[in-house]
Chains A and B, each alone.
Chain A
Amino acid sequence: MKRLRGWWLLAAVLAALPLIFPGNYYVIVVGASAGLFAILAVGLNLLMGYAGQISLGHAAFFGLGAYASAILTTRLGWHPWLALVAGLVVTGLIAYLIARPVLRLKGHYLAMATLGFGIIVHILLVQTGGLTGGPDGIGGIPPLSLFGWAIDSDERWYGVIVAALLLVVLLALNLVDSRTGRALRALHGSEVAAGLMGIDTAAAKTSVFVLAALTAGLAGSLFAHQQAFVSPDSFNFFVSIELVTMVVLGGMASTYGAILGALILTFLPELLVVFEDYEVLIFGAILMLIMIFLPQGIVGGLKDLWRAARRRPGKGSQDAA
């Protein structure tokens, strides 16, 4: 399974980290948070990086999953796993309903429409106070449990989130390397040409949109149980922008790039805390510099550098002629 080598490596590293750095705040707590964002970024990358459809409202699906879990477990007393599945169904259904009309649009117009959707969901979370608790959110969300184990420590959450991430990554890697994955990448190139290949472009766009929404819903449910508390501000417009930034920064159309983007955007602010007042300024400057010097994103840029290095003469290359 040559094409899953990277996945095994990722799994090994993620499993080894808490053993090498036991109890380390950055690994266990910030790492789990980065893992959730990585799930979101990998899902969004399928839609954006591979199929070429931008979404500026992806945090809405993250929020729908989180609130579904929060409401069903605290208000209706549902079992957390049942609530998680119900949350996925709701998120998927809403994504399916808005996919057709929204994905007819292209470029800037698609960006505007998804932006609008994200804002509407955020406003609804704030305004429907009876159901969502309004701006104060919902607290007291019970922890998940697995085979009788309550997932109630940072270490256990790290394990659950990493497992979910590995699952989503496996799914993404297999999808991209399939007939459907080729169809998505064709869509990215030219929708007209994809249609001429016999690809039902509307159906392909809808399914990848729903799939991306489902991964976001999953991340949302996990997030709700992990934090035991949700409020609308975790799912606002800026979170959507952050997710897009993760995908672009890591390198579009690269699953590992999306993970890298999530890692950088989660860890960088933590590390820049030492600069106090200048934190955001330096953060912005770093993003600008990366995009100026690596316009293909980090993974794309490194690939280019690697190729250029191998092609350099005098390194014993056989195609010197």
Chain B
Amino acid sequence: MPSSEPLLQVRGLRGRYGPVEVLHGVDLQIEAGELVAIVGANGAGKTTLLHILSGIHRASAGQILLEGQDIGRLPPHRIVQAGICQVPEGRQVFAPLSVEDNLRLGGYAQRHHQAWVEQQLQFIYTLFPILEERRAQSAGTLSGGQQQMLAIGRALLARPRLLLLDEPSMGLAPLLVEEILRVVRELNQQGVTILLVEQNARAALGVAHRGYVLETGRVAMAAPAATLLSDEGIKRAYLGY
């Protein structure tokens, strides 16, 4: 019954750097079409979790199932082919390459779907008109917000079934954060399943359906976003009021 499987299921995930364990058994689940936020303080293990999901870092224990298939031991490029694509923390655009070359690199694994890539490129240019304006410019000359748009566009060219966003608000002015999150919600409404990791808990929970609160390597709470936003403990710890 593949249709009843959740898109992503993570069970008992542990991760360590050398002798230090930073994830102590994380469980989470994402259904197709959802927008799920993971919030938590610095050092809670959010980025490590995403790195393990993308295959950059290997889990020391636990299972990662994409529609029931164990992808926990695949190298990063195979995970991208399987449909999980990450927009890394700090954007990591390829600075000397042109905006369009960056986008085309996102479609690297789609070489047999050239027509789709061209079509998706046009879609991304309508989503972020500034990228079309600057398509020939080197990505390093873009502002932080534009680079974030580029990084998201680049990931969308990989045809993700699950899009991972690591701290898209990092280093951006409040207006730009709003703009980026508006796009994130819009993409989700168009059918892209999104896992959004954010330190900016209020902004993330404002757009997400559900949220997980990660605390020192454990899931402290999992609930609909609205519930988390009104929780007194969460308010005090993460929302700052």
Residues of A participating in the B interface, judged by any CB pair closer than 8 Å: 179, 182-183, 185-186, 189-190, 192-202, 253
Complex contact A197–B97 (CB within 8 A): no
Segment at the A interface, from B29-37, B102-110, B183-191: B102-110
B238 contacts chain A at the CB level, 8 A cutoff? no
Q: Which one, B54, B88, B97, contacts A186 given CB within 8 A?
A: B97
B77 contacts chain A at the CB level, 8 A cutoff? yes
Q: Which residues of chain B are within 8 angstroms of A182 by Cβ–Cβ distance?
A: 97, 101, 104-105, 108
Q: Which one, B97, B108, B155, contacts A199 given CB within 8 A?
A: B108
- Chosen A-B contacts, 8 in total, with CB atoms closer than 8 Å, are A179-B108, A182-B101, A182-B105, A186-B105, A189-B96, A196-B56, A196-B88, A198-B109
Q: Which residues of chain B are within 8 angstroms of A192 by Cβ–Cβ distance?
A: 56, 76, 88, 92
Q: Which residues of chain A are within 8 angstroms of B92 by Cβ–Cβ distance?
A: 189-190, 192-193, 196
A308 to chain B, nearest CB (A): 15
A202 to B105, CA, bound (A): 17
Residues of B participating in the A interface, judged by any CB pair closer than 8 Å: 54-56, 75-77, 80-81, 85-86, 88, 92, 94-97, 101, 104-106, 108-109, 111, 154-155, 158
Complex contact A198–B81 (CB within 8 A): yes
Q: Which one, B56, B97, B111, B154, contacts A195 given CB within 8 A?
A: B56
Q: Which residues of chain A are within 8 angstroms of B106 by Cβ–Cβ distance?
A: 197
Q: Which residues of chain A are within 8 angstroms of B95 by Cβ–Cβ distance?
A: 189
Closest to A181 in B: B101
Q: Which residues of chain A are within 8 angstroms of B54 by Cβ–Cβ distance?
A: 195-196
Given A182-B97, A189-B96, A197 and B80 contact (CB-CB distance below 8 Å): yes
Closest to A190 in B: B92
Complex contact B94–A199 (CB within 8 A): no
Complex contact B97–A196 (CB within 8 A): no
Q: Which one, B76, B96, B101, contacts A196 given CB within 8 A?
A: B76
A45 to B155, CA, bound (A): 29
